[in-house]
Amino acid sequence: MKITRIHVENYKSIKELDISPSPKLNVFIGDNGVGKSNIFDAINWLLGPIYPTFNATTKQDHYLGDEKNRILIQLYFEDDYLLELDESKDRYQFSIKRYGTYQKDLGTLREGFCSAYVGVGRQIVDYLPSNRWSLLGRILLDINKKFLEERTETGECKSEKLKAELDRIRDDLLFSVVDGEGNNIMQKFATILQEESANQMNKKTEDFRLSFNLYDPWNFYRTLQILVNEPDIGLTFQASQLGTGAQAAITIAILRAYSEIKLGGGNPIFIDEPELFLHPQAQRNFYKILRKLAEENDIQIFYITHSPYLISLEHFDESFVVRKTKESGTCVRNADIDKFVEDLKIRKGIDSNETTLKLHYKNAYEQTADSLSSLEAFFAKKVILVEGGSEALILPYFFGKIHFDYIKEKITIVKCGGKSELDRFCRLYSEFGIPSYVIFDGDKHHRNEDREKSIIMNHELFDILGEIKSEDFPDGKIHANYLGFEYDFNYALKLAGFEDVYNEGNPERSPKGLDLFLKVKGQVENSTVKIPDWISQIRESIINLPEEVDSVLKQRISEEQSVEYDDLPF
């Protein structure tokens, strides 16, 4: 049962939040303290092991610590189910509706929505099947359900055969213990207990009987333990006695088992920081397991991460960037694929679809030659977009020389793999509210068809950067959100006084990448040339970028948004 909408009001740092999650992976990204865990806590309140009530609610559980801010949590599911916890109601604060009708037997019905939760502790004891909401509990509940449905080759119900076998074991073995006089101890114990209970409560002896809960197969499954053998020392340990790294590895094994068994227990899984205690390769492997669970097993997964190895540029619509502001509390930005498709249609007249558009972003990601930085940008406060390796090498060096610690300021430099990709990345990051500073070459030295292509790309960049330009080439000046060199980066370095950095006869053969970096660094270190003034100006512009930006995607104006002639100022 998948969640289709999450609505939360007045819970901890959340003033009001409305999320439409992906049916597959849902990745929550953001700084510490912005409220990511509060979102998960709100969901777990309704879907976790404890029946949802407000009995233990404190002042701090309310937005701004004000108990007048009544908490509301709503989870919408497939098949038109709604789970709701509403503090404003005097009675029946927790309810389940279907098609708008209140449902009965909430305790039993709620179990059908139970979701496994993997916390940051990664302690195996938290996931053992004694807890039906744990990972192992989910797996074994599915196995137990299938066991209750199956029959033997002779047509006998397996659960009934288990009951008969347990009765025999009980009578022949467990209840066969005798004392020194040959009396059956268990029978004597049962007789005394029945007679004395009846006497104390003034009832008949036959009104009491002893029953052992042997017949529910779940009681066998829930005793499962994971044991680890250490042959070098000849000892066996429970997995719960191992270190956190080993326990984290076993957690992955449990998830792998869940993905391979495919019994169809389709409720969501929630994981807090899956990268904990895992090296980068293990993180990438963990992401593959999560992707397989989502794609092949049709399991909806939610997780919080601080690792670029646990997100995908191809599936950028599955990411949710979380922020917190003084005015709005915890808020979330997500990207809608359909808006990108519509934007492309408006700008280029190209009809596209979700699959094709995602492939283009996957290709852009793979062609950046700096794919990790393009993912790190989702965790950044601001992004500097550059065309290639020359700028990506030299800018950090220049920043260091003017004592601008851009990494401390949570700024990421992304080399986009060419001028044609700058607008793609700018549109993507802006959709998540991440401000970009774009540095690009105007390429005025280009001729013929290359010149025409350069002009088209220049105007596309002007448009996305909010500039209304009649000129075909940038002016080489610092702007609030971009620097466009009239010619190119090499020529700008030449104008700043650097030598042997620009090929006058054939600009395309000017030194690039590491070769250019070494020439520039050598001249700075020898005090031949000073750091260009525009580096300090870039720093100031980047610092002054807003904390969050609006979408730059073009959308058609709906009838409701259309302007009446009477509203126009002329």
pLDDT, one tens digit per residue, over 181-225 is: 888 888 888 888 888 888 888 888 888 776 666 667 767 777 777
Structural tokens at position 560:
């409701």
Q: Please, what is the end-to-end C-alpha distance for the chain in angstroms? A: 55
With a cut of 70, list the residues of the chain below it in pLDDT.
121-135, 210-215, 218, 239-249, 256, 258-266, 367-370, 558-570
Structural tokens at position 371:
């794919």
Please state, in angstroms and as integers, the Cα–Cα distance from residue 461 to each residue in 182, 293, 302, 415, 441, following that order: 96, 39, 35, 16, 11
Residue spans of the domains in the chain: they are 3-115+267-321, 336-544
* pLDDT for the residue numbered 570: 40
Q: Which residue has the tokens 């283009």?
A: 360
* pLDDT for the residue numbered 569: 44
Do residues 45 and 104 touch, judged by C-beta distance below 8 A? Answer: no
HEC letters along 347-411: HHCCCCCHHHHHHHHHHHHHHCCCHHHHHHHHHCCEEEEECCHHHHHHHHHHHHHCCCCCCCCCE
Rg (CA), the chain: 32
pLDDT in tens, 475-533: 999 999 999 999 999 999 999 999 999 999 999 999 999 999 999 999 999 988 999 99
Rounded CA-CA distance 138/128 in Å is 10
Q: Among 329, 384, 313, which Cα is nearest to 10's?
A: 329
74 forms bridges with which residues in the sheet?
7, 84
Q: Which residue has the tokens 């020389």?
A: 401
What fold is seen in the domain 3-115+267-321?
Rossmann fold (3.40.50)
* pLDDT for the residue numbered 124: 47
* pLDDT for the residue numbered 407: 95
DSSP 453: H
pLDDT in tens, 215-249: 677 677 777 777 777 777 877 777 666 666 666 66
Q: Among 282, 227, 290, which Cα is nearest to 249's?
A: 282
Do residues 226 and 250 touch, judged by C-beta distance below 8 A? Answer: yes
